[in-house]
């Protein structure tokens, strides 16, 4: 009887351990999906948008400040006597949708925007090499046009931006992004000016330390007439993350901080010192905590 009981214990114990091993192997073989994160530190590369957007319930407050050209010399304090500012808010409605609003001093422009994430870079069960977003905005020129000698409608004030953001995080230090861009202007200054402007942007980030990086951004205008009269926008920045804030110190030949301005109307030439210094400050506020948030 003792031998029977001992044999039974060994039998059931062996079956239990075998079943446990099968269960562990089942979970070990199950693939998971790992998504790329922090492709860029801020929702902007420099002037242009990045694929990053606020988490659901988070509000980003952006302060953008750009000075005049440094080649104006000491009488204009190398451009520091002149300045233009943009204040903006961007809110994470869902994990894939961001809406925003802003006010730019240049041309007293008010803009409304949205950013939609189509797919995220991932590996594992779902394997996709890029993050792809759509970014669009509508700008409203607020200048006083009462002295214009032609009939002027509100729709003449409107400009529109459509942009794809295609990014890849190469490794923990390097990220790259392409930005095919379309801009439509309802009203242009000259008959020969194009209402529709096409451009291709490219940007990159190289992380120096855990909290600092250098960024590069360039927009090549494809529309012939606009390219003949204006300069392509080229910008460099040094980014510093301090927890809740992200500071970006940059230099650029671009004029303006809204895509409809700096892509289509930049006149600065780098080799002639027509360069602007500026900075961005981005602060995130948690307005709605996730259900699984722990104090």
- CB atoms under 10 Å from CB of 134, counted, come to 13
Q: What is the pLDDT of residue 292?
A: 52
* Partners of 179 in beta bridges: 201
Q: Contact 262/226 with Cβ under 8 angstroms?
A: no
CA distance 258 to 107: 11
CA distance 239 to 212: 5
Q: What is the pLDDT of residue 288?
A: 83
Q: What is the pLDDT of residue 149?
A: 60
* C-beta pairs of 32-36 under 8 Å, 24+ apart in sequence: 32/124, 32/125, 33/122, 33/123, 33/124, 33/125, 33/126, 34/122, 34/123, 34/124, 35/120, 35/121, 35/122, 36/120, 36/121, 36/122, 36/131, 36/169
- What is this structure's pTM? 0.84
CA distance 176 to 190: 36
Q: What is the pLDDT of residue 233?
A: 95
- CB atoms under 10 Å from CB of 45, counted, come to 30
Could you tell me the two tokens for 270? 């780098």
Residues 6+ apart with CB under 8 A from 57: 92, 286, 287, 288, 289, 290
List, in order of start, the domains of the chain with CATH numbers.
Answer: 33-286 (2.40.160.40)
Structural Rg of the chain based on CA atoms: 26
Mean pLDDT, each 10-residue run in order, the chain (295 residues) = 44 44 51 88 95 94 91 77 91 95 93 96 90 97 72 87 97 96 90 90 96 96 83 95 89 92 90 91 87 50
Q: What is the pLDDT of residue 6?
A: 42
Best CA proximity match to 267, nearest among 237, 235, 229, 234: 229
Best CA proximity match to 277, nearest among 26, 89, 65: 65
CA distance 176 to 39: 8
Q: What is the pLDDT of residue 90?
A: 97
CA distance 135 to 96: 12
- CB atoms under 10 Å from CB of 292, counted, come to 5
């Amino acid at each position: 009887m003792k031998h029977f009981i001992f044999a039974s214990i060994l039998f059931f114990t062996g079956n239990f351990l075998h079943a446990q091993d099968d269960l562990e192997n089942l979970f070990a073989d199950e693939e998971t999906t790992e998504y790329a994160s922090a492709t860029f530190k801020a929702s902007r590369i420099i002037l242009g948008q990045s694929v990053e957007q606020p988490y659901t319930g988070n509000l980003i407050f952006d302060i953008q400040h750009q000075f005049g050209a440094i080649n104006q010399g000491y009488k204009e304090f190398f451009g520091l006597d002149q300045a233009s500012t943009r204040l903006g808010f961007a809110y994470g409605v869902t994990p894939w949708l961001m809406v925003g609003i802003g006010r730019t001093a240049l041309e007293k422009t008010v803009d409304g925007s949205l950013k939609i994430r189509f797919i995220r870079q991932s590996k594992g069960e779902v394997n996709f090499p890029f993050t792809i977003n759509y970014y669009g905005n509508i700008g409203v020129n607020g200048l006083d046009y009462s002295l214009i000698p032609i009939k002027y409608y509100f729709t003449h004030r409107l400009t529109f931006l459509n942009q794809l953001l295609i990014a890849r995080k190469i490794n923990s230090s390097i990220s790259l992004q392409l930005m095919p861009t379309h801009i439509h202007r309802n009203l242009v200054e000259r008959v020969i000016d194009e209402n529709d402007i096409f451009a291709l942007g490219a940007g990159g980030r190289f992380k120096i330390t855990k909290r600092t990086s250098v960024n590069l951004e360039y927009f090549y205008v494809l529309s012939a007439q606009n390219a003949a009269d204006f300069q392509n926008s080229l910008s460099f920045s040094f980014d510093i993350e301090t927890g809740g804030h992200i500071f970006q110190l940059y230099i650029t030949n671009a004029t303006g901080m809204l895509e409809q301005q700096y892509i289509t109307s930049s006149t600065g030439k780098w080799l002639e010192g027509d360069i602007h210094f500026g900075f961005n400050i981005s602060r995130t506020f948690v307005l709605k905590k996730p259900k699984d948030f722990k104090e």
